[in-house]
Structure formats: structure tokens, C-alpha cells
Amino acid sequence: MKLGRAALGLLLLVSGVARAVEPISLGLALAGVLTSYISYPRLYCLFTECCGQKRSLSREVLQKDLDSKLFGQHLAKKVILSALSGFISNPKPKKPLTLSLHGWTGTGKNFASKIIAENIYDGGLNSHYVHLFVATLHFPHAANITLYKDQLQLWIRGNVSACARSIFIFDEMDKMHAGLIDAIKPFLDYYDHVDGVSYQKAIFIFLSNAGAERITDVALDFWRSGKQREEIKLRDMEHALSVSAFNNKNSGFWHSSLIDRNLIDYFVPFLPLEYKHLKMCIRVEMQTRGYEVDEDIVTRVADEMTFFPKEERVFSDKGCKTVFTKLDYYYDD
């Protein structure tokens, strides 16, 4: 459709000289224009979305987006920044980039995947080259696993054939039927080609609540010992996350060959959010809606949230996910 509109635009562009040119000559001229248009990618991409980055990925822009939109997640920001910028700048990666994001609902996993998509394609999650799978929506019935495996392989193969730099996001991995995700194992391995298709420039992102308990335990231990959450290192929980996902029978990664064969590059922990992080979310949402930041409303909305553990009330049990609906109450027209 986009190519059709662009071609129509070119036809209209030259239509002004149609009366001065013989029909056959005009046809040859139009054919030449269209051939030149398709032959030069830079010109073509002015009119339609193209495969690949919207520009050379800017580490500085990605850093700014992560800092201004993702709160309380120093580990996730560091891993995503290094992993993504290093992968994109590598002209010949050995395998696709594979990230598994873990943490409670509302801690920023979906938001992080959105930031990644937007830094590679202008369309972000709406790009033709970014594909989102939601376990409960796209793979609802356990009896259809064999069918889902075939469909998933065909979908990924077809899209990577069309665009090597395709992005695949799998949400609700903790709700996915065990064994299903192993269907894509050949695409994540260290192969130059699989049936004539190279998957080495693709990006796979998995989102899951599995392992959230372990993440919370570590964060709570640091808080109780008087340490700053920024002192938590990836090594404090990455191995425990992979083991937790692998051994969780309610996880799509249960005994998965993706973990067993070390095909997931990074297990990225998203820490539970504190009161101060909720306030950051509320301020940004106010600005996004075009309102001036009202600290009184910020405090009132944050105070309405619930926290755990019950005695200490350190972490928000829903993260930033519900602050937006609560904010609607104060700006209800």
C-alpha cells in the first residue's frame, strides 16, 4: 500500500508534462522514473518504511530515552544500552540478539521493549518489522501446540526473509505453554543459515514475570542491610533468574532448550519500584498529557498505591501500571 501511494505520487509529479509528450514516450519515461525510484533505496525510503534502522543507532539517544522514561532500573538500562548498541554496530553477529526481561507487572518490561523498537524503527511497535506475540492471545489452547509451533516457525521465517533486522517480542512468557517456544530454537542458534535464511541480525525479546520473587528477595535484602539498590549487580541475580525460569513449571521456559543451550544472551532483572519511582512515573505522565506538574496531585496519586511487604511497605505491588488510571480521576473533564 505504501509503495502504491509513493508510485502514485511520482505519476502525478510527471503528469504535468503528459500533454507535451507522446503516449509511448510518456510510458517509457514513467517506467524509467519508477525503475530509478525502486533502484535507489534512499529515495525509495523517503516514501515508505524500509527494513533496517531508521538511522545508525545512536547510543546517546538510546541512553537519553532510557534515562527519561525508565525509572528505578539501573541494571536493565545498562544491559539494554550495551547489548543493543553493540549488536547493531556489529556487521556480522554470530547469532540473533536474545533478551529475556523479568520482573513484576508494572516495572517497565513492556516499556523497555517499546524503547528498543522506537530506537530502531520510526514506527516503533507499529512498524512492519516489529512483531508482538501475546501468549494468552496468540497461543491460548494447549491442545494446539503443534499447530502453533508450525505457524510460529513460518511467521518468523517469512518475516526474517523479508527483513533480516526483524524484531520479535514475546509477552507473557510465564503464561506460554511449556515446549512451544522451543520451536524457534534453530533460529536463535549459531547457524549462518537455516534453510537458506540467516537470522543473525534479528532481535528476540521475551517478557516474563518468572523469577520476580528472586528479584524482590535480592532487592529487599539490600534495602534491609542499608545498601542502595544501585549497588545491586547483574551477577547477584542473573544466574538465579535463568535457573528459576528453567525450573518453573508454569513458565514457557520450563526445561526449555533455549536456556539449556545458552541461547539467551541476557536475563535482565527489573527491580520492584519504590515510592519515589512512582512519583517519577506520574510526573512524566502529566507532562505527556500536556499538564503542568502539580506536586500535590503527584503525592496524592502515589499515596493511593499499595506497597509490600505489609510491615515495611517498601515496594509498589503494581509498579507504575495503575498510576495512569488513578491520574484520570484528577483530570476527569
Question: 184-225, pLDDT tens digit by residue?
Answer: 999 999 999 999 999 999 999 999 999 999 999 999 999 999
Say which amino acid occupies 167.
I
- Assess whether 263 and 290 both reside in one domain: no
267 with 102: CB under 8 angstroms?
Answer: yes
Q: Is residue 110 marked as binding? A: yes
- Does residue 13 register a pLDDT over 60? no
Report yes or no on 301 lying in a domain.
Answer: yes
The residue segments making up the domain with residue 285 are: 275-329
For the residues 124-135, what does the mean pLDDT come to? 96
- Does residue 24 register a pLDDT over 80? no
The CB density around residue 1, as the number of other CB atoms within 10 Å, is 6
101 with 205: CB under 8 angstroms?
Answer: yes
User: Among residues of the chain, what percentage have pLDDT more than 90?
Assistant: 72
Report yes or no on 117 lying in a domain.
Answer: yes
- Assess whether 161 and 289 both reside in one domain: no
Average pLDDT taken over every residue of the chain: 88
pLDDT tier at 99 (50, 70, 90 boundaries)?
very high
Rg (CA), the chain: 24
The domain tally of the chain equals: 2
Query: How does DSSP classify residue 290?
Result: T
Q: Is residue 155 marked as binding? A: no
The CB density around residue 304, as the number of other CB atoms within 10 Å, is 12
139 with 132: CB under 8 angstroms?
Answer: no
Q: Is residue 158 marked as binding? A: no
Residue 71 sits in a domain of what CATH number? 3.40.50.300
- Assess whether 257 and 171 both reside in one domain: yes
- Does residue 28 register a pLDDT over 80? no
Helix axes 109-118, 74-89, angle to 10 degrees: 30
Q: Is residue 48 marked as binding? A: no
pLDDT tier at 56 (50, 70, 90 boundaries)?
confident
Could you tell me the three cell numbers for 185?
Answer: 530454537
Q: Is residue 223 marked as binding? A: no
Residue closest to 210 by CA, chosen among 251, 164, 162: 251
Report yes or no on 303 lying in a domain.
Answer: yes
pLDDT tier at 26 (50, 70, 90 boundaries)?
low
- Assess whether 262 and 211 both reside in one domain: yes
CA 189 – CA 264 distance, rounded (Å) = 10
Residue closest to 307 by CA, chosen among 322, 291, 325: 322
In this prediction, residue 214 carries a pLDDT of: 92
Q: What percent of the chain is helix, strand and coil (3-state, nearest 5)?
A: 55, 10, 35
pLDDT tens per residue, range 288-301: 989 999 999 999 99
Q: Is residue 124 marked as binding? A: no
Of the listed ranges 138-147, 229-238, 244-253, the one predicted with least confidence: 244-253
- Assess whether 81 and 229 both reside in one domain: yes
Q: Is residue 106 marked as binding? A: yes
User: Among residues of the chain, what percentage have pLDDT more than 70?
Assistant: 85
In this prediction, residue 331 carries a pLDDT of: 78
Report yes or no on 313 lying in a domain.
Answer: yes
For the residues 29-33, what does the mean pLDDT come to? 55
- Does residue 150 register a pLDDT over 70? yes
